[in-house]
Amino acid sequence: MPGWIELQRGDITMIAVDAIVNAANQALAGGGGVDGAIHRAAGPGMADELRSRYHGCPTGSAVLTGSGQLGDHGVRWVVHAVGPIWRGGHDGEEDLLRSAYKTSFLLAEDAGARSVAFPAISAGVYGYPLAGAAAVALRTVRDCLVRAESIERALFVLFSTDTLEAFERALRELTPRG
């Protein structure tokens, strides 16, 4: 039986799930928005692990680390996904965003996660239009859940009301009526 998708407004660093997906940059160096919040909440150990294991990450891909101090909330892993910067939609952005979500999902599943929390990758400072970002995210995660072996719950934790509303609209459009 496929898992399910949930949406909620809140702080992704306060969510009790097995894996949290971080909207990372290519350097994996921490930054603003959700990336900065996750790095601050995880503490320096996660950044040390990133530096020692990886030398960046290409757009559309992801890497996995331990959760550092996020483990105090039950989080076991952080998946650092690099989404595309919006350049008008003609530079492969949709494919790269889809790949970032799919790679993140598969890394979490390979690690043994049963639950995973996602942010709105690329929809903040990277400028991806909210409606499009929500549609790509939800479609991709839904398709992954259908084939998932361990992940039962995919939670989108969205920081602003506007982002939550965009994801709610996209989910209604994705969900069959009847």
Distance CA 86, CA 67 (A): 29
> Is 35 among the residues known to form the active site?
yes
Given the residues 11, 18, 35, 110, the one annotated as active site: 35
Find how far residue 64's CA is from the centre of its chain: 12
What is the amino acid identity at position 141?
Answer: V
Q: In this structure, what token pair is assigned to residue 111?
A: 């690690």
Instruction: Tell me how far CA of residue 120 lies from CA of 7, 98, 148, 175, 177, in angstroms.
Output: 11, 12, 21, 19, 25
Contact 21, 121 (CB under 8 A): yes
Active-site positions read 35
